[in-house]
Structure 1
Amino acid sequence: MTERTQLNVNISPELLKVLKQNAIKSGLTLAKYVTKLIQAYVSNEDLIEEGTLVDKRIDSMESQLNEIAEKLNNFNNIISENSYKEEKEGIPVEAISPRVAFIPKKPSTGDVKKIGKLIAQHFKNIQRAEVLSAKEAWQLFKDQESIKLIKEEHLTVILDVLRGEKILSFGDIQTLGFKYGRCPVMTAFRTMSDLPIESELSQIKNEAEMYLAHLASKQNKKFEMSV
């Protein structure tokens, strides 16, 4: 017996009109567009309501902010202690043991490589969550304010990393960070979708940015950590 491949569903005229408009914008037939929507919904087991996505994003941001605040507080305490020693004992801050001074750890090659893989995966997750083709997702990415001023040569590097065709290096991170004063990729992710950043990516990204901020201060450059 031939399997049935046709599904008859009654929907409101208003919904049908919206579906037709979206199908035209996507360059698809109505049937293909609806099929694509259903496939995306069925295959994405982690699909949740928008309100829950927002809540998760807020929780993720709060967690990151608390972590950053704790590190900055520790840093300020160390600076205060060092300044006190210098004032009372006449010991220059530079002479204090490196184990006492707070210096962020430089991310290893493996850590940077993992960052590249995780941001590429997050880009794909956004593409799936927003029901976009690869081309549409890249265009949406380029439309973000943090990306509009990015030079073409740097966009090429970002695109290659997001495609998984290039292994991210610390030099890439430093170049983008110092050139644009922050990580343009993470900023774009925040504005192009409500999809929360995975905790693993947030943590490893924060550690790398802490080191970049440390380097920037030493080289009299501007760098802001992404939230």
Structure 2
Amino acid sequence: MHTSHLLEIKQLSFGYGCQSTDTLTIQNFSLNVNKGEIVGIVGQSGCGKTTLLNLIAGLILSSEQSILINGRPPKENHQIAYVFQSPALFDWLTVRGNIEYGVRRRKLAPSIIRQEADRLLHATNLWAYADAYPQDLSGGMQQRVALARALIVKPDLLLMDEPFSALDYQTRSEMQELVLELWKDYQPAIMIVSHDIDEMIYLADKIVVLQKTADLSDKCFEIPFQRPRDFEAIMKLPLFNQIKQRIRRSILQ
């Protein structure tokens, strides 16, 4: 099936257990994501943000025609990578071993795997820690390993579920910049869940507000700021605060 979008979600509804409309976590949700596009997902707790990512990743099964990636359902897709809120690294593998883990399953030549891992170790400032183990790393460094592990497979779509929420302000800012730098190099589409509206306006091309109830429509806000963006500069613009307030009001509906 030909599709002009990388990701197409059409009238997706999903609930756990009983399928009554009163218990649906996600109701009649539609979204298109283009190649290389960054999409922020925000909303109140319990509105289905993580569930949406898990459905897209194929970790939860849904109607095969409600989610298509490159024209195929998630379970047939191998060009998706996922960065979780917790780094979820393998304690028994070194930093290099964790980064190479996913791509080794694709049976590429060892020299190519090593070359790609070396590139990411340098790009994430982890070269000096290639032989270290996760327990020897800070939280920010562990999340950099998780990001490198996701990108080494060169995914078309990168899913990120609140990947910076456990980090301090400085480390969080550094991770935001790193994601944008690596995005320029690898050009995946990114869907990122966050509770931080400022962060989403800075990172995303558009922001989707998921709603908890069927009588409210999910809203999509286009972010008009050109790239590259200077966070401190755009935060001072009246338009930044206007967009932020519109998104906040939509979340609180």
Same topology, TM > 0.5: no
TM-score by length of 1: 0.29
TM-score by length of 2: 0.27
Structure with the bigger percentage of helix: 1
